[in-house]
């Protein structure tokens, strides 16, 4: 590149890059300048790879290219791209994990996330990941991202466990996660979580079965959507997850509960409710007596009948 006129290189540096759309220029770990120049040409950052080589040498960066992915917009100059690389302004990708997904569903999200290395990725224990938005760099290990999800939940759970209400019928933090996963699957209404948690806490204290449909579904699908209603035979079948037939908590969580569901279980609302059923508005009607609950169920069934086309 020594024969290239300095003025030409300066023109290359300050001219707009030829890319017509936002590109994500990725310098893989262990890549040298020559490999980076080929990639720059392939992705339209330069018209010819020698432009990239000459620019890097002129800027004294031929041995200091930081590995990573860099967002490059049309209209940027090559000099601006190199400055971004010099500052280590790597592009961060994101993974959104909604509340209530199972370990299998989170595993699939990780496997579908662009740029994550999947080597050694294994299924997490059910319920032990904290739903949130996580950022990663292209080339990061999916196992590392999974560990961050586990660590974040453990940190939150440890803190909330110390602040829990007295006299809860929960023997361990694992019990709290199991029950929080059931609360998470039972309601998507934030204001109801404390009431739903109270229903299950009250039932556990009285030795009543939890009678939760989501636990039965988990016993059938192991964390995947059922895609239909439960049958009478499925509700009657004795399995470790059928809380209509088996007393107490199921053997594991049935999903990954969010922070608010965990808080609700460890500090439930102070209400005497023992029952709840859908009310047709997206929420639930709560009751203390079986008589009141049966009336709520009758209203729900009438709503269902009237809602059919």
> Over the chain, what HEC string results?
CCCCCHHHHHHHHHCECCCCCCEEEEECCCCCHHHHHHHHHHCCCCCCHHHHHHHHHHCCCCCCCCCEEEEECCCCEHHHHHHHHHHCCCCCEEEECCCCCCHHHHHHHHHHCCCCECCCCCCCCCCCCCCCEEEECCCCEHHHHHHHHHHHHHHHHHHHHHCCCCCCCCCCHHHHHHHHHHHHHHCCCHHHHHHHHHHHHHHHHHCCCCCCHHHHHHHHHCCCCCCCCCCHHHHHCCCCCCCCCCCCCCCCCCCCCCHHHHHHHHCCCCCCCCEEEECCCCCEEEECCHHHHHHHHHHHHHHHHHHCC
Q: Is the pLDDT of residue 291 over 80?
A: yes
Domain housing 264: 165-307
Please give the Cα distance from 20 to 26 (Å, whole number): 17
Token code pair at residue 3: 């024969």
Specify whether 303 is located in the same domain as 169: yes
* Residue-wise burial string across 15-39, b where 16 or more C-beta atoms lie within 10 A, e elsewhere: eebebeeebebbbeeeeebeebbeb
Query: Does 243 lie in the same domain as 279?
Result: yes
pLDDT at 290: 96
- % of residues, the chain, pLDDT over 70: 96
Smallest CA-to-CA distance from 161 within 151, 174, 149 is with 174
Q: Using pLDDT thresholds of 50, 70 and 90, give the confidence band for residue 4.
A: low
Same domain, 208 and 272: yes
Q: Is residue 159 part of a domain?
A: no
The pTM of this model reads 0.89
Total domains in the fold of the chain: 3
In a domain, 158, yes or no: no
Pairing, β 23-27 against β 284-287: unpaired
Q: How far apart are CA 211 and CA 102, in angstroms?
A: 20
Tell me: the pLDDT tens digits for 153-176? 999 999 999 999 999 999 999 999
Provide the mean pLDDT of the chain.
92
| Whether 27 and 138 share a structural domain | no
Does residue 147 lie within any of the structural domains?
A: yes
pLDDT band at 32 (very low <50, low <70, confident <90, very high): confident
- pLDDT at 2 > cutoff 60: no
For residue 191, is it within any domain?
yes
Asked if residue 1 belongs to a domain, the reply is no
Rounded to an integer, what is the distance from CA 220 to the centroid of its chain? 23
Q: Are residues 82 and 110 in the same domain?
A: no
Q: Tokens for 62?
A: 């031929």
| Weakest mean pLDDT among 26-35, 174-183, 204-213, 224-233 | 26-35
- 225 and 268 assigned to the same domain: yes
The C-alpha angle with vertex 194 and arms to 189 and 199, in degrees rounded to 5, equals 105
Residue 21 pLDDT class (50, 70, 90 cuts): confident
207: tokens are 């030795």
Which has more confidence, 51 or 142? 142
Last residue of a domain, one of 35, 61, 87: 87
User: Quick one: 244 and 184 in the same domain?
Assistant: yes
Of 70, 87, 104, the residue at which a domain comes to its end is 87
Which residues does residue 93 pair with via DSSP β-bridges, in sequence order?
A: 136
Q: Which of 16-25, 146-155, 188-197, 269-278 has the lowest mean pLDDT?
A: 16-25
Cα separation, 32 vs 277, whole angstroms = 63
pLDDT tens track for 103-138: 999 999 999 999 999 999 999 999 999 999 999 999
Which domain CATH number covers 28?
3.30.1490
Same-domain pairing of 98 and 20:
no
- Whether residues 277 and 177 fall in one domain: yes
Q: Using CA atoms, how far apart are residues 280 and 278, in angstroms rounded to an integer?
A: 6
Least confident of 22-31, 106-115, 195-204: 22-31
State whether 281 and 190 are in the same domain.
yes
Are 227 and 142 in a shared domain?
no
239 inside domain:
yes
User: Is 130 a member of any domain?
Assistant: yes
Task: State residue 1's pLDDT score.
Answer: 45
Please name the residue that has the structure tokens 């690389």: 85
**Residue 174, domain member (yes or no):** yes
174 with 289, same domain: the answer is yes
Of 126, 153, 180, which marks where a domain is finished?
Answer: 153
Per-residue burial over 57-69, b = 16 or more CB atoms within 10 Å of its CB, e = otherwise: bbbebbeebebbb
C-alpha to C-alpha distance for 123 and 126, rounded to whole angstroms: 8
């Amino acid at each position: 590149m020594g024969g290239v006129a300095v003025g030409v290189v300066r023109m290359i540096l300050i001219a707009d890059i030829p890319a017509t759309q936002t590109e994500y220029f990725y310098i893989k770990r262990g890549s040298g300048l020559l490999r980076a120049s080929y990639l720059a040409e392939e992705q339209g950052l330069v018209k010819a790879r020698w432009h990239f080589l000459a620019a890097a040498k002129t800027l004294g960066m031929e041995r200091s290219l930081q590995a990573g992915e860099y967002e490059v917009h049309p209209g940027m100059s090559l000099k601006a791209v190199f400055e971004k690389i010099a500052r280590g302004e790597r592009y961060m990708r994101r993974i959104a994990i909604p509340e209530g997904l199972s370990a299998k569903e989170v595993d699939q999200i990780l496997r579908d996330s662009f740029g994550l290395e999947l080597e050694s990725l294994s299924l997490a224990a059910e319920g032990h990941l904290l739903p949130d938005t996580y950022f990663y760099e292209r080339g990061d290990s999916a196992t590392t991202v999974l560990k961050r999800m586990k660590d974040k939940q453990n940190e939150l759970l440890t803190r909330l466990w110390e602040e829990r209400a007295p006299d809860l019928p929960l023997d361990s933090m694992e019990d709290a996660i199991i029950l929080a996963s059931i609360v998470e699957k039972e309601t998507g209404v934030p204001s109801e979580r404390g009431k739903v948690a109270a229903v299950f806490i009250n039932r556990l204290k009285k030795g009543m079965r939890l009678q939760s449909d989501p636990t039965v579904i988990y016993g059938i699908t192991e964390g995947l959507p059922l895609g239909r209603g439960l049958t009478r035979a499925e509700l009657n079948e004795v399995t470790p997850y059928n809380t209509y037939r088996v007393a107490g908590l199921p053997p594991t969580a049935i999903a990954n509960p969010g922070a608010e569901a965990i808080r609700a279980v460890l500090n439930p609302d102070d209400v005497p409710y023992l029952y709840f059923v859908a009310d047709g508005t997206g929420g639930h009607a709560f009751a203390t007596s079986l008589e009141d609950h049966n009336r709520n169920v009758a209203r729900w069934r009438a709503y269902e009948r009237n809602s059919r086309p």
